[in-house]
């Protein structure tokens, strides 16, 4: 996954081989020049990698935190329901360790993830290794009040709810 926050570009997780049989937990980041939008300097490997190798996850930013949703922890495996975040230092770009927050009420991988206003949205995706038809469901979470849990939103048109 990849995301930009506070003038830094982050790349993390994913498969490390063409056959998609190995996963990585690496997190790397680099500064982005605010005037040109180009990479400025060299990549740094984070001292706080993902807790486990992960691929096909959703990624977004909310309130200076990188959020990771779902994905798979086993190559070509079942979907995961976890949601975790790391706070990013706005000056150095370093991320804190990863914190588990309110798990999704559903497992999902290969889904969209975006922040709009004060809500994090998980959109579509697949729910198990044999799935070939994308899910149509949309769920949201208020990261500032995670105890409120995930809320079902209106489904996308078509596909499986």
**16 band by pLDDT with thresholds 50, 70 and 90:** confident
Q: Name the pTM for this structure.
A: 0.93
Least confidently predicted of 22-36, 57-71, 105-119, 145-159? 145-159
pLDDT for 98-155, tens place per residue?
Answer: 999 999 999 999 999 999 999 999 999 998 766 677 889 999 999 999 999 999 999 9
Cβ contact 76:67 at 8 Å: no
Residue 45 has pLDDT above 90, yes or no: yes
DSSP 109-157: BS-EEEEETTEEEEE--BSSTT--S-B--EEEE-TTSGGG--EE-PPPS
pLDDT for 130 equals 67
pLDDT for 115 equals 97
As a whole number, the mean pLDDT across the chain is 91
pLDDT at 60: 97
Contact 51, 68 (CB under 8 A): no
- Residue length of the chain: 161
Q: How many other CB atoms are there within 10 angstroms of residue 63's CB atom?
A: 11
């Amino acid at each position: 996954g990849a995301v930009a926050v506070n003038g830094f570009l982050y790349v993390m997780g994913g498969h490390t081989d063409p056959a998609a049989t190995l996963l990585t937990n690496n997190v790397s980041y680099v500064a982005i020049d605010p005037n040109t939008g180009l990479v400025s300097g060299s990549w740094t490997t984070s001292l706080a990698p993902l807790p486990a190798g992960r691929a096909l996850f959703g990624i977004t930013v909310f309130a200076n935190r990188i959020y990771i949703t779902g994905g798979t922890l086993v190559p070509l495996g079942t979907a995961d329901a976890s949601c975790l975040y790391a706070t990013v230092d706005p000056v150095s770009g370093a991320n804190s360790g990863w914190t588990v927050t309110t798990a999704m009420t559903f497992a999902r991988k290969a889904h969209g993830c975006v922040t709009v206003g004060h809500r994090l949205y998980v959109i579509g995706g697949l729910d198990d290794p044999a799935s070939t038809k994308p899910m149509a469901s949309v769920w949201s979470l208020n990261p500032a009040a995670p105890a409120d849990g995930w809320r079902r939103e209106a489904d996308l048109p078509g596909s499986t709810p």
